[in-house]
């Protein structure tokens, strides 16, 4: 029997695994198949397991030159970069929408817009940091709530 406190061995990616069509994603230590985009378990990071995956799932890829998989790797990494840019623009739209919502609520209560940057934003940041973690607090910190930012846009905003 294995001991419950025994440490499991974590395998690391080797560049030679590209010959089987696998890369290591920067955010994970698991092997990623370039053909089906499936992440295998870390225990599968053995050449025989990677080759077995290639033989059973992608028999047409067996024996392809390493340049074939290098090209697939470039395409995959470029797709990830463009997805990252899309996510950033989506975050910007969400932050703008949140800013407009806060501005609408402040105007509805007939309070000065400086309250957003002096009271509301620091309060949101403190609550998110303690309750949701620092990553959520950093996301909330990106919401533009300064008086100058929301000054003219409130007239055009209509709550749905």
Each of the 160 residues of the chain gets a pLDDT tens digit; together they read 455 556 667 777 888 888 888 888 766 778 888 888 888 887 788 889 989 988 988 888 888 898 988 888 888 887 777 665 555 556 777 887 888 888 888 888 888 878 888 888 888 888 888 888 888 888 887 788 776 665 544 444 444 4
Domain with 28, as residue range(s), is: 15-64
Residues 121, 122, 125: CA angle, nearest 5 degrees: 85
Q: Are residues 102 and 146 in the same domain?
A: yes
pLDDT for the residue 128: 84
Count of domains for the chain: 2
Q: Are residues 101 and 52 in the same domain?
A: no
Q: Are residues 97 and 146 in the same domain?
A: yes
Per the structure block, which two tokens stand in for 37? Answer: 């985009």
Q: Are residues 97 and 144 in the same domain?
A: yes
Per the structure block, which two tokens stand in for 107? Answer: 């105007």
Query: Residue 5 falls within a domain, yes or no?
Result: no
Q: Are residues 108 and 145 in the same domain?
A: yes
pLDDT for the residue 116: 83
Query: Residue 86 falls within a domain, yes or no?
Result: no
Q: Are residues 57 and 99 in the same domain?
A: no
Query: Residue 4 falls within a domain, yes or no?
Result: no
Q: What pairs with residue 39 in β-bridges?
A: 32
Query: Residue 81 falls within a domain, yes or no?
Result: no
Q: How far is Cα 134 from Cα 56, in angstroms, rounded to an integer?
A: 43
Query: Residue 79 falls within a domain, yes or no?
Result: no
Q: How far is Cα 110 from Cα 117, in angstroms, rounded to an integer?
A: 16
């Amino acid at each position: 029997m294995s001991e419950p406190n025994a440490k499991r061995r974590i395998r690391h990616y080797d560049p030679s695994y590209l010959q089987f069509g696998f890369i290591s994603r920067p955010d994970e230590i698991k092997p990623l198949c370039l053909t089906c985009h499936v992440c295998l378990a870390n225990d599968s990071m053995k050449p025989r397991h990677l080759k077995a995956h290639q033989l059973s799932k992608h028999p047409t890829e067996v024996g392809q030159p390493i340049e074939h998989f290098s090209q697939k790797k470039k395409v995959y990494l470029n797709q990830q970069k463009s997805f990252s840019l899309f996510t950033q623009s989506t975050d910007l739209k969400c932050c703008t929408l949140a800013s407009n919502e806060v501005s609408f609520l402040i105007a509805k209560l007939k309070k000065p817009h400086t309250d957003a940057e002096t009271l509301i934003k620091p309060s949101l940041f403190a609550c998110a940091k303690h309750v949701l973690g620092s990553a959520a607090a950093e996301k909330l910190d990106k919401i533009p709530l300064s008086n100058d930012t929301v000054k003219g846009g409130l007239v055009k905003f209509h709550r749905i």
